[in-house]
Amino acid sequence: MHLPETTLASVLLVGATSGLFAATAFASAAPSPLTNGDLVAVRAHKLHVSPGNVLEDATLLIRDGVIMQVGDDLKVPDGARVIEGDVVCAGFMDPWGSLGMNGPATVDMSTNAATRAVDGVDPYLHPWYRHQALAAGVTAVRVQAGMVSARGGVGAVLSTAPAEDLKSMILLEDSNAAAGLGLSSRGNPTDVFARISAVDKLVSDINSGRDYAMGLAKYAHELEAWNKTIAEAEAKLEKDFKKAQKDRDKEIAEAKEKGKEFKEEKYKEDKRPKPPKPDAEDAVMARVASGELPLVVTIHRAAEMRELLKGTARFKRLRLVIAGGTEAEAVADELAARSIPVIVRPIPLGANRPDEYSGHDLALAGRLADAGVRVLLGSSGGGSADLPLLASLAIGHGLDRDKALAALTTEVARTFDLSGELGSLRPGRRADLLVLDGEPLLPTTTVRYALSAGRVLISPDSRD
Amino acid sequence: MRTQRRMHTNALLLASLAFVASAPASASSREGDALAIRAEKLHVGDGTVIENGIVVFEAGVITEVGKGAPVPKGVVLIEHAGHLSAGLIALREHAGAGGESNDSSRAVMDEADLAFAYRPHHSEVQGLLEEGITTFVLAPRPGSLVGGLCAVAKTGSEVISRRAYLSICTGTNGLTSNRFPTSLQGSQAELERRFSWPRGVFATAVKGELPVMLDGGSSRTEVQHAIGFARRHGLKGLLVGSTRLGEMAAKIRAAGLGVAISNYAPSTGRRVVEGAVALSEMQVPFGFALGSPNNHPANLRLTAAACIRAGLKSSDALRALTSTAAQLAGVADKVGSVQAGLAADLVLWSGEPTDPGSRVMAVYVDGDEVFQAEDDENGDDQ
Amino acid sequence: MIWTPFLHAACLTLCAPPLQDAPGAEPQEPEAPKAQPAAAPPADLRLHAERVYTGTGEILKNALIEVREGKISSLRPGRSAPEGVPQVKAITAGMIDLSARLHSNFNSVEQSTEVQPHLDVAGSVNLYDKRFARLARTGVTTILVNPLDRNVIGGRGVALKTHGPMEVEARRLKARPILRGAIGSEPSAANHAAFGRPTDFYSRRPTTRMGVEWEWRKAFFDAVAAKRLPEMDFPGAEDLREALAGKRTVMIQAWTTQDIRTAVYLDEEMQREGFGDLDLVIDAGAEAWKEPAMLVRNSTIVVLPPHTAGGRIGSDGAFLAWNTANQLVEQGLTVCLSAHGAGPGPATLGHQAGFAMRGGLSFDQALAAVTTAPAAVLGLSDRLGTVAEGMDADLALWNGRPFAATSRVTGVVIDGTVVVNPR
């Protein structure tokens, strides 16, 4: 069986694959240096193409870090590096992490909507952290500057693979905009009225974003009209310049005769439309209002979530994502209806938790999923390496196993517009995948191989 | 506690007609009623697993265990499509004391009895049941040199051992900045004095009749002191409170001490879990500490799972959570295994007990069903 | 074990047998003595130096040092280096810092009572502290660890090698006992007057210099009185009486002239009262240069704090001049230098000796101030401070003339163990 190619890119890539065997034969005649561009074949007894879509005894071919073909009837081409294992699935993605970020940047309280997470990436992070995450199966992390700030900046999705340069670490430099509502500051809860007005402030920020976008659109429209008028006037002048000059001289003479002041004809040129005042924050919120960027709102209490949902209902194109959502069960129906995903943090919190987490329950993820809400699981910056373990805790408290796997793979990719590149093992996707010795999300299962863009970063001999 | 008792959804009743009439009202074996459960996998607690094992219990006590254990006529047999194990045991726990498990007014509170701090129906205790924890060692919070006598309590029920351990902090955890002692040398001098000329509980401890729960502190030096202290005075018992115990496994074994593994905190606990593997390799008996309510009860199993991820055998982890913990707490004759004669403290799991992805479907304490998972259309994810 | 790579390298390159205190080192079977002469067994370690500054005033040229069982077994000048034996420019005895300040933190002094002469700081020493390793790398092989000076009388100090077994009691040197205390603002710094209801013992303790001095005097008077009146006895009284009898060294931190004077007057008052004579060492005596006469009169030993760029040092803002060491030595006083441990700064004990030389001290005097003089304070002159047969094999290996600005310690040997490989 061949999987249907879903995107144009994959069609093109698979199209290229038909010439693969010839290419391989050619390569064997003139061997190229071994890079990640080489052919890798991954064979598994069970291959989770995506959660719930499992192929038995299947093969997956990787070239240039991209999945070329997946199927249970594929032959392994000559010269391919073969990796075999029991179970293969897509690499896990932490939609609420901090790995790869400079520590202080993540807790910066002075960030605004225009702060960019990619400016806070720390390429000199100790490799141990990356190794830990990869060994646990986490291949990508969505990061955020100002994770607990009222306005986190523009988030990014980073690869957990070690990289020589910053650019290759960044999978998506503008995954989302972010806001934090009602979060405790230094362990102290904020005032209840301040919390509600903070929600209103966010709604009004989205609104000014929309106004800004409309202002820009209006300006573009006016500019176009003005350019047109000017062009017409110029054409007219070009065409009959001598006549125009004559007419003008005549008018000047007439004016002199009558002892009047000569009035120069006004041209459109002086009324050039003015662009709106540039505003970086509004520019980001404009992208949010138009639905270009998802808006991740870290919010926990039901009252604030209700206010947020009410206030944002009129922004039809807005794509909200709730992070935390401790009391989200109270608004589950609306979240489901509006297809708003919730990034749940399935971490066991003790009695000393912050006020907004007071209703914390490990069963949240399962209950939301049962109510039809899209659920993602995130570490909230505590350590992406533990996310798979925490996800199993969510399973143990009621989350369906396939939904938990989706919460770490496909749902993350879908939420942050990366479905075409990450989250599943379909042709055309980046080869971020795991070869496991058992079913995913079991404590007894170890990651035997972790591949990032086709590069083998964890293997049985690399484990410490 | 959930007052509404329902029969387990997967339960199949095999009972005489006379019994059927009353059975659905209560799945309890309290008042002389017997009950039997057959599980796909029954974890005895010593490492053996009985496929389709049956456990029969009556009046709160297990009467029969085995694959073909006879189910007396008229006894309800519940079929459980999943695993069954003894209730989990948390070593060093503070739930049920409502924050009153340490009296900081004095450095040495040798006769303070934690049994008097225990409130079985405190809300903190109920959270333990939902995670399958049926027994725990109620210990003083750190902060004193000698915090008192630890009690072994049944979750939501009575204290089954009042003098399980004498709690001692030999390291910095016993110090405060404004009360004697403020220094390690001061604390060591005071403890040496108490144990070199022992009276009361100290004499009992030196005789080996009362185990100690030694909180050595966090650093290797402090743990070394704690082990040295135990050896010098011939003390038996448990080391707690340090993340570095694994590095001292050989010394701990030589001292004949056990260990309560500290809580694994996500993102920081690598040392703890690797320590557990080292202790296991060195055959040092160990269980798991919890420390709720400041730590979530789910942390007990999460810690065990993290240890498994680091290389601990799943069966060893379950032993540490049940039978070894019972031995360390001196209550192995009462709880910790699914064995005839022991209390019917049982947990029905949807899958492997040490997988955090397994759900707690039902919990029995002394044969009483005290917790049952909420029904939902998804059921368990078998 | 951080030393493992060095030890391992040492095993391979220095032909040394497995080192006893080297957990983690590969166990190696000793070579079977096939064609060895029946005489002395092969040395555990051999080193060759162009110059060995023995510390006795003698400089041995092209000397070969052999080490057996942690001791210097032979020291022969005028030898060429046998093949495979590491060669260095210079060797001195390992340096000794009497004020290394490696107490761990506030837990290293018992503050519930201001006078705790009986408590031993050993209980709070953390040998896993990386500063031990850092100190060892700078050529400091022996240190004195004292309680934190938050107390008036903090307790007993402990002398330790900077490398060795990882248990304090196993590493402790049988040094002359030290009673440590402080005069000045530090012992009263954390205290406060009881405004209203006293909440803890910090309101009972002294809040001024005067109060600190009074605690000292009261402690000695009480100790003497308790000898006759047993009901007055208190923990540590015996330690104080031993100090009065000169059986233990009293090391007092006193930065400023005022505090140094207080310490000396205390000693002299004890003598006048007929209680005894303290064997007094002033630690961190930055301003000893202001009134040296009283120190000469009392033959007090001074441990100087590290030099700073501006001269000011310590919580009392004392001023240490560059030529202080020289001034004191010229007056006939015994001076020891200290780097106050392995702080973040670059100035090691070797640098301090260099600074003191810049202030006028001769090389021999500077060497004595970091080796023989502190060894004598510890009562360990028969083991430490000089390079001679029978002494502990504690050596600092230099790549040039010791204490010169262009030289540094490139190798360290402690008890015959190569702690830093000179290569």
Q: What is the pLDDT of residues A349-390, one digit of tens each?
A: 998 899 999 999 999 999 999 999 999 999 998 789 999 999
The CATH number for B202's domain is 3.20.20.140
Q: Indicate whether C215 and C88 sit together in one domain.
A: no
Instruction: Tell me if B379 is assigned to some domain.
Output: no
Write out residues in chain C with pLDDT < 50, as ranges: 1-33, 36
- Tally of residues, chain B: 382
Q: Indicate whether C271 and C125 sit together in one domain.
A: yes
Q: Give A322's strand partners.
A: A297, A342
CB A200 within 8 A of CB A173: no
Q: What is the pLDDT of residue C193?
A: 79
Among B106, B144, B184, most C C-beta atoms within 10 A, so best to mutate, is: B184
B302 touches chain A (CB under 8 A): yes
Q: Indicate whether B272 and B212 sit together in one domain.
A: yes
Instruction: Tell me if B8 is assigned to some domain.
Output: no
Q: Nearest C-alpha of chain A: how many angstroms from B150?
A: 22
- Which whole-number Å values give the CA distances from C92 to C49, C97, C243, C249, C364, in the listed order? 10, 15, 33, 27, 11
pLDDT mean across residues, chain C: 89
Q: Indicate whether B165 and B50 sit together in one domain.
A: no
Nearest residue of chain B to residue C199 (CA atoms): B178
In chain A, where are the structural domains located?
A: 1-91+424-464, 92-209+279-422, 213-271
Q: What is the pLDDT of residue B381?
A: 43
DSSP A345-385: ------TT--GGGTT--TTHHHHHHHTT--EEE--TTS-GG
| CATH homologous superfamily of A1-91+424-464 | Urease, subunit C, domain 1 (2.30.40.10)
Q: Nearest C-alpha of chain A: how many angstroms from B149?
A: 24
Among A358, A439, A442, most B C-beta atoms within 10 A, so best to mutate, is: A442
pLDDT mean across residues, chain B: 88
Nearest residue of chain A to residue B313 (CA atoms): A444
Residue B17 has pLDDT above 90, yes or no: no
Best CA proximity match to B142, nearest among B274, B262, B253: B262
Q: Do C110 and B224 touch (CB under 8 A)?
A: no
pLDDT, tens digit (0-9, with 9 covering 90-100), for B46-79: 999 999 999 999 999 999 999 988 999 889 999 9
CB B49 within 8 A of CB B6: no
Instruction: Tell me if B118 is assigned to some domain.
Output: yes
Instruction: Please tell me the distance from the alpha carbon of residue B64 to that of residue B95, in angstroms, as a whole number.
Output: 32
Residue A89 has pLDDT above 80, yes or no: yes
DSSP A141-170: EEE-SSTTSSS--BEEEEE-S--SSHHHHE
CB C148 within 8 A of CB C112: no
Q: What is the pLDDT of residue C5?
A: 41
Domain that holds residue B46: 17-86+338-372
Q: Indicate whether C187 and C117 sit together in one domain.
A: yes
A419 touches chain B (CB under 8 A): no
pLDDT, tens digit (0-9, with 9 covering 90-100), for B206-221: 999 999 999 988 889 9
E strand map for C146-241: 153-156, 158-161, 178-182
Q: Indicate whether B186 and B271 sit together in one domain.
A: yes
Whether A and B touch (3+ CB pairs < 8 Å), yes or no: yes
Residue A17 has pLDDT above 80, yes or no: no
Which residues, 6 or more positions from C401, have their beta carbon under 8 angstroms from its beta carbon?
A: C51, C89, C90, C407
Best CA proximity match to C186, nearest among C315, C60, C318, C298: C315
Residue B161 has pLDDT above 50, yes or no: yes
Amino acid at A391: A
- The sign one gets for the Cα dihedral A276, A282, A284, A289 is negative
CB C234 within 8 A of CB C222: yes
Rama region for B339: left / alpha / beta (φ>0; ψ in -120 to 50; rest): beta
CB C119 within 8 A of CB C392: no
CB neighbours of residue C10 within 10 Å? 26
Q: What is the pLDDT of residue A79?
A: 87
- Tally of residues, chain A: 464
CB neighbours of residue C39 within 10 Å? 5
Instruction: Tell me if C291 is assigned to some domain.
Output: yes
Q: What is the pLDDT of residue C345?
A: 65
CB C417 within 8 A of CB C21: yes
Q: Encoding tokens for residue A222?
A: 């006016």
Cis? peptide before B181, omega within 30° of 0: yes
Q: What is the pLDDT of residue A243?
A: 84
Q: Indicate whether B232 and B320 sit together in one domain.
A: yes
Q: Nearest C-alpha of chain A: how many angstroms from B209?
A: 35
Q: What is the pLDDT of residue B268?
A: 65
Best CA proximity match to A304, nearest among A356, A343, A374: A356
pLDDT, tens digit (0-9, with 9 covering 90-100), for A133-181: 999 999 999 999 999 999 999 999 999 998 878 888 999 999 999 999 9
Question: If residue A411 lies in a helix (H) or strand (E), which one and from where to where?
Answer: helix A410-415
Q: What is the pLDDT of residue B68?
A: 87
Instruction: Tell me if C183 is assigned to some domain.
Output: yes
Once rounded to an integer, what is the mean pLDDT over residues A250-275?
82
Q: What is the pLDDT of residue A27?
A: 34
Q: What is the pLDDT of residue A240?
A: 82
Instruction: Please tell me the distance from the alpha carbon of residue B372 to that of residue B363, in angstroms, as a whole number.
Output: 6
Task: Identify the DSSP state of C423.
Answer: -
A397 touches chain B (CB under 8 A): yes
| CATH homologous superfamily of A92-209+279-422 | Metal-dependent hydrolases (3.20.20.140)
Q: Indicate whether B149 and B73 sit together in one domain.
A: no
The CATH number for B348's domain is 2.30.40.10
Q: What is the pLDDT of residue C1?
A: 36
Q: Indicate whether B237 and B147 sit together in one domain.
A: yes
ipTM of the complex: 0.88
Q: Tokens 């001791």 correspond to what residue?
A: C71
Q: Nearest C-alpha of chain B: how many angstroms from C90?
A: 36
The CATH number for C13's domain is 2.30.40.10
Structural domain tally of chain C?
Answer: 2
Once rounded to an integer, what is the mean pLDDT over residues B197-205?
95
Q: What is the pLDDT of residue B22?
A: 37
The CATH number for C358's domain is 3.20.20.140
CB A177 within 8 A of CB A154: yes
Within 13 A of C367's CA, how many CA atoms are on the CB side?
A: 23
B381 touches chain A (CB under 8 A): yes
Best CA proximity match to A176, nearest among A199, A198, A152: A152
Looking at chain C, the whole-number percentage of residues with pLDDT higher than 70 is 89
Instruction: Tell me if C36 is assigned to some domain.
Output: no
Instruction: Please tell me the distance from the alpha carbon of residue B371 to that of residue B363, in angstroms, as a whole number.
Output: 5
Q: Do C127 and B221 touch (CB under 8 A)?
A: yes
Within 8 A of C168 by CB-CB distance, chain B residues are 221
Instruction: Tell me if C29 is assigned to some domain.
Output: no
Q: Indicate whether C9 and C102 sit together in one domain.
A: no
CB pairs under 8 A between B and C: 71
Instruction: Tell me if C35 is assigned to some domain.
Output: no
pLDDT mean across residues, chain A: 89
Instruction: Please tell me the distance from the alpha carbon of residue B70 to that of residue B66, in angstroms, as a whole number.
Output: 8
Structural domain tally of chain B?
Answer: 2
Instruction: Tell me if B1 is assigned to some domain.
Output: no
pLDDT, tens digit (0-9, with 9 covering 90-100), for A200-259: 999 999 999 999 999 999 999 999 999 998 888 888 888 888 888 888 888 889 888 888
Q: Do C112 and B180 touch (CB under 8 A)?
A: yes
Q: Do B183 and C118 touch (CB under 8 A)?
A: no
E strand map for A160-262: 170-180
Instruction: Tell me if C30 is assigned to some domain.
Output: no
Q: What is the pLDDT of residue A167?
A: 87
Q: Indicate whether B279 and B324 sit together in one domain.
A: yes
pLDDT, tens digit (0-9, with 9 covering 90-100), for B313-334: 999 999 999 999 999 999 999 9
Instruction: Tell me if C33 is assigned to some domain.
Output: no
Domain that holds residue C89: 1-24+41-93+385-423
Within 8 A of C111 by CB-CB distance, chain B residues are 177, 182-183
Instruction: Tell me if B9 is assigned to some domain.
Output: no
Instruction: Please tell me the distance from the alpha carbon of residue C178 to that of residue C301, in angstroms, as a whole number.
Output: 14
Nearest residue of chain B to residue C191 (CA atoms): B178
CB B107 within 8 A of CB B146: yes
Nearest to B185 among C123, C201, C202 (CB): C123
Among B309, B352, B382, most A C-beta atoms within 10 A, so best to mutate, is: B309
- Which whole-number Å values give the CA distances from C303 to B83, C253, C280, C340, C373, in the listed order? 71, 9, 11, 10, 10
Nearest residue of chain B to residue A133 (CA atoms): B267
Q: Do B219 and C116 touch (CB under 8 A)?
A: no
Best CA proximity match to A156, nearest among A209, A104, A106: A106
Instruction: Tell me if C130 is assigned to some domain.
Output: yes
CB neighbours of residue C364 within 10 Å? 14
Among B272, B375, B381, most A C-beta atoms within 10 A, so best to mutate, is: B381
- The sign one gets for the Cα dihedral B144, B150, B154, B156 is negative
Best CA proximity match to A48, nearest among A70, A16, A26: A70
